Structure 1
Amino acid sequence: MRNFKVDQSLKELTEHRTTALPIACYQTTINQNVHGHIPLHWHDEVQFVRIIKGEAIFQVNEERLEVREGEGLFINSGCLHMAEEKDQSGCIYMCLNVSPHFLLSQELYSTYVSPYLQATNLPYIFIDAKEVWGKNIIDTMLNVNESIQQKLPYYELDLTVQLTNMWKNLLVNGFHLEYDQTEIVKSQRMKQMLNWVHLHYAEKMLLDDIARAGQLSRSECCRYFKRMLRTTPLNYVMDYRIQKSVLLLQESDSTVTEVAYQVGFNSTSYFIDKFRKSMNVTPLAYKRNCAASKFIKH
């Protein structure tokens, strides 16, 4: 996937499903995304990741971790996450996104699925291929992908068996589940602030505005952004404006000046400077490169 759409709360809008089932399996080459990395987002589905080539740095909520070739990662439902390749390794990974309600039957869901989705100490689980349970999950991901691609008779039944196997292997670790209300509130406030930024990024924006959206003081707001996004609130706004401008510059009838004002800059020269520092190319050069690549494809 080279790009995907999110709503103002950063919830991914991609419909993760086959024609009949709430499941999707696909490969992602990180540096081919329009932003050069996988930007911050979340989704209701649980996600299993397997690194096929290279090495990636994932951030899930506040934590960052490296995942290497052959290793995997489980990302829980509703958790903010992003990914970038490490050391220009050309990282490619396989993603398996599954609706939680498709993991097990309704009768087993409340006992063996729901408690794990709600636990605040399980935003992610590193899947170590050296462990038996980890290798089982990694191997089963390949089987799931093969079943979806081949669509042999009764493959839907094969998928349910394979997913049950993956989920059981995750649970046999014997995780101690915790439910910390402060963690739940923290996640909600972060999403509220991000939602506000994404709705109003084209307007004049002050730190007070962002803090108010999360019902926080200015200093607490800054601590949230530093802890979860490794940046300041206003730097995040700047980066988000640049991300939006990247998409607008790909439109054939847009101009650099129009895009600058559309994403909230009140000076074209300031926009050009910030874009160049972020993307290592000027907006006009980026626009010309996009037009040239489209022409070659056609």
Structure 2
Amino acid sequence: MAIYLEMPELDKEFPFRILVNDGDILTTPHWHREVELIYVIKGTISLGIDDVPYKLSEGEIAFIGGGLIHYVLASPGSERLVYQFDLNYFTAGNKENLDLQKLFSELLPVSPQWGESDETAIRTLLEAMNYEMKTQQIGYQFALKAGLFELIQRLLRDIPKQVKQLKKINKLATQDVLEKLDEIFNFVEEHYQEALTLQDIAEVAGYSSFYFTKFFKKNTGKTFLTFLNDYRIDKAKWLLINSDLPVSEIIAQTGFESNKTFYRLFKGSMAMAPLEYRNTMKIE
């Protein structure tokens, strides 16, 4: 199976989310810069992290550092909570200048390797955070942020580190690659409304157009044009749901140069026209 880049849609102010996935959801091999924890709340799941297979049962947890290739096989009858967060959120408060990406890459990835007390502590914290997210009582955002900081502290202090292996694990996304992709993604975020060419983005990355094309496809699983169009379609979807702007204005604001291209890509992505999507998704 092809490996692809996933870009979770996280709030810029607080880049954290919790998803509920059932056993019918198959997650093919992918990676993302965000850290992820998977907490099995029902049944068992089979997953792989950097080509190493694991099987987790109810109450067990997997920790996946940013940039690691992972997948989850369909496990009928199971259910799991997926926690994702961006380490950039902790940059301002990181007065110790800890390399969180590196430190987290050294942790043992599944809770049966941690010891019962550490597994219980992390499980209890994850359950508390999920409760806050579900109930959203007054102050829940503060509770979630406090929980996330405690989670970071416990992971750093309590979770055992991997013994260095003689055989070096081949990681798709090294720190250098993640930083380069961050640079590219940030540029797209700031300039997606403009007419962007392959040459423009290659210059930002410091590569020739030929090398950039190979680099981007290898590390994201898609061409830059496909990525850019997907990004613009996501922005258009947000505007369709959260504004009353006419479709023509949304097309202009999201960088599409022709109405025909926008309608073709939108229908190909969502299997419906933009106004139909707005009517289906918009909350009265």
TM-score tier (shorter): 0.5 to 0.7
Q: TM-score, normalised by structure 2?
A: 0.63
What secondary structure, in the 3-state scheme, does the structure 2 residue paired with 1:224 have? Answer: helix
- Paired residue for 1:128, among 91, 110, 120? 110
After superposition, the Cα gap between the structure-2 partners of 1:88 and 1:251, relative to the gap in structure 1 and judged at 3 Å, is farther
Structure 1 unaligned spans of 5+? 7-12, 17-25, 32-38, 151-157
2:83 maps to 1:95: yes
2:173 maps to 1:173: no
Q: Which residue of 1 aligns with 2:37?
A: 48
Quick one: structure 1 residues 162 and 236, their matched pair in 2 at CA, closer, same or farther if it must change by over 3 Å? closer
1:49 Cα deviation (Å)? 3.3
- With over 3 angstroms needed to count, the CA separation of the structure-2 counterparts of 1:117 and 1:192, relative to structure 1, is closer
Question: Which amino acid letter does the alignment assign opposite residue 276 of structure 2?
Answer: A
2:214 — aligned with what? 223
Instruction: Indicate the SS of the match to 2:19.
Output: strand
| Residue 235 (structure 1) shift | 0.8
Q: Which residue of 2 aligns with 1:28?
A: 19
Distance change in 2, residues 1:57/1:268 (3 Å): farther
| 2:178 aligned with 1:187 | yes
Which residue is equivalent to 1:35?
none
- Is the CA contact 1:58–1:64 (under 8 Å) kept in the aligned structure 2? yes
Q: CA deviation at 1:128?
A: 3.2
- Please say if residues 225 and 232 of structure 1, whose CA atoms lie closer than 8 Å, have aligned partners that are also in contact: yes
Extract unaligned runs of 5+ from structure 2: 1-7, 23-29, 133-146
Query: Distance in 2 between the 1:264 and 1:88 partners?
Result: 41
Deviations 1:34-71 (A, max 9, x none): xxxxx98756xx653324469698999xx999987645
Q: CA deviation at 1:115?
A: 6.1
Shift of 1:126: 6.9
Does 1:235 pair with 2:226?
yes
1:176 Cα deviation after fit: 6.1
Q: Deviations over 1:248-291 (max 9, x none)?
A: 11134122222122111122232111011112222111011123
SS at match of 1:250: helix
| CA shift digits 1:73-126 (9 cap, x unpaired) | 3244xx36899986697964142769879xxxx9xx78xxx466436xx64867
The alpha carbon displacement at 1:228 in A equals 2.0
Query: 2:27 — aligned with what?
Result: none
Q: Report the number of matched residues.
A: 244
Q: Is the 8 A contact 1:50 1:93 kept in 2?
A: yes
Quote the Cα distance in structure 1 between the aligned partners of 2:33 and 2:273.
30
Residue 121 (structure 2) aligns with: 140
Q: What RMSD, in angstroms, separates the aligned Cα atoms of the two structures? A: 4.8
Question: Does the 8 Å CA contact 1:52/1:94 hold for their aligned counterparts?
Answer: no
Q: Report how far residue 223 of structure 1 moved.
A: 2.3
